[in-house]
Structure formats: structure tokens, C-alpha cells
Amino acid sequence: MPRKKKEEVEAEEEEEDDFLPPLEEDEEEEGNKKKRKSTRQKKSTTEKKVKTDDSLLKEGQEAPDFEAQDANGNKVSLSSFKGKKVVLYFYPKDNTPGCKKEAIAFTENLSKFEEKGIQVLGVSSDTVKSHLNFTTKAELKHTLLSDTNLDIITKYNAVSKRSGKTAQRITYVIGEDGKILKVYPKVKPEEHASQILKEIDSLKPVTFVPSVSDNDNEEGDEEDEE
């Protein structure tokens, strides 16, 4: 069996829950305790260095425009869907278990999204060729966009906290006016498409009001530029 590439391993790790299961006091093997404790410490240190979910774009904010290639090499831009709702979901890597479940669920529910006039776009850092392979193997019908340089992923603050090279699994629902209606920072791959369909009709536009932390971040950015 061929060894998995480092990126594939990182992507599969990205699919794991953010929290490890709690330690049980009656664990018999001391070696297991030390190993799990070490893993927790490393994870804690890593999380301190990365942005929290507070860094995600907020509901009511203008969704950043972008242009990227789909699985067939065609250029697709967000602005071309102005006047329609858009489900923009980010995922770690093509052909990994969780990503496949999520993608298939979107394809199986695609007709329901289309009936509501909703465009579904999946984004990862995989190549166009990889997307074509994934689309063919999993018989996907919705659009997948290639973002190998992490341009879109960065604009939407969706860069993986674990690897920094792929996307984390988050979703933005964008309204007809181009503003963000809903942010899903945590999703269950196989249930996510159905979850959005249940909630999307009740989503209402909101006015984005910058928080103190948002203002602090902007000031910090300006200081860095000086």
C-alpha cells in the first residue's frame, strides 16, 4: 500500500474534532496518559498561535469577491451570482472521508438548492485536476473551485489552524445583496447540506456592526503597515 503524502495526512487530521476526548482517571497504561497529555499540550500551544473563530467574517459583512477555476478549468466569480444566494463551503482536501461525505450530501440535495435559486460552491486548495478526479469518482454535480494559492481561503479567514496549507471546514451563506447571511464555523459533513436547507429560508439580512475587537484588529493592521 503506497504511503500517504504529508498533505493528505494533514487534511485527514483536519477532519477530526477540535477537542480530544476527555482523559479518564482510571486509564491503566501510564504510557497512554503521557502520550495524550503531550498531544493536548501541543494542541494548546498551537491554538494560541492561530486566530480563533472570532476572526471569521461576520454576518452582515460584504462577502469578498473572487475568481477561480472549477473542475473543468472554467473561471467562476462570486460577483456573477449577484442576486442569488450562495452557499460557499470550504473543506480540507479532495477524496478524504469527511470531505467526500459532505460533497456527496450537497450533490444529493442539489436539486433542492436549485429550486430555491441557491448556488453551491465548494472551495479547497486542491488543483483543478484533483477536483476533476474527485468530481468524477464521487459523481458530484455541484461546482468545486481550486484555490491552490489560498487566495479565497485567506480572504474568508478559512486557513487551516492545523496545517496552514489547506482550508478548515467552515461555510458562509451569502445573500442576494452580496452580504454574509450566516456563518457555520463547525459542521457535520454528512448533515450540513440538510442543515442549511432547513435554516436558509429563515435567514434575514443583518446590519454589520464592528465590535471593539474588530476595531482593534484594524488599528493593529494599520500599525503594521507603518
> So what's the pLDDT on residue 49?
38
CA-wise closest residue to 46 among 22, 24, 18, 21: 18
> So what's the pLDDT on residue 208?
79
**What 3-state class would DSSP assign to 163?**
coil
Integer angstrom CA distances of residue 146 from 72, 139, 176: 10, 17, 23
| Assigned C-alpha cell, 156 | 474568508
> So what's the pLDDT on residue 205?
83
- From the centroid of its chain, how far is CA 169? 3
- Which residues of the chain are under the pLDDT cut of 70? 1-54, 211-226
> So what's the pLDDT on residue 33?
55
Query: 158-170 pLDDT, tens per residue?
Result: 999 888 999 999 9
Is residue 25 part of the annotated active site? The answer reads no
Q: Residue 112: CB partners within 8 Å, gap ≥ 6?
A: 197
pTM over 0.75: no
> So what's the pLDDT on residue 19?
34
In contact, 84 and 63? CB cutoff 8 Å: no
Q: Which entry of 11, 99, 121, 145 is annotated as an active-site residue?
A: 99
DSSP annotation of 171 reads E
Q: Residue 94: CB partners within 8 Å, gap ≥ 6?
A: 124, 126, 130, 131, 133, 134, 144
Query: 96-105 pLDDT, tens per residue?
Result: 999 999 999 9
| Assigned C-alpha cell, 172 | 458562509
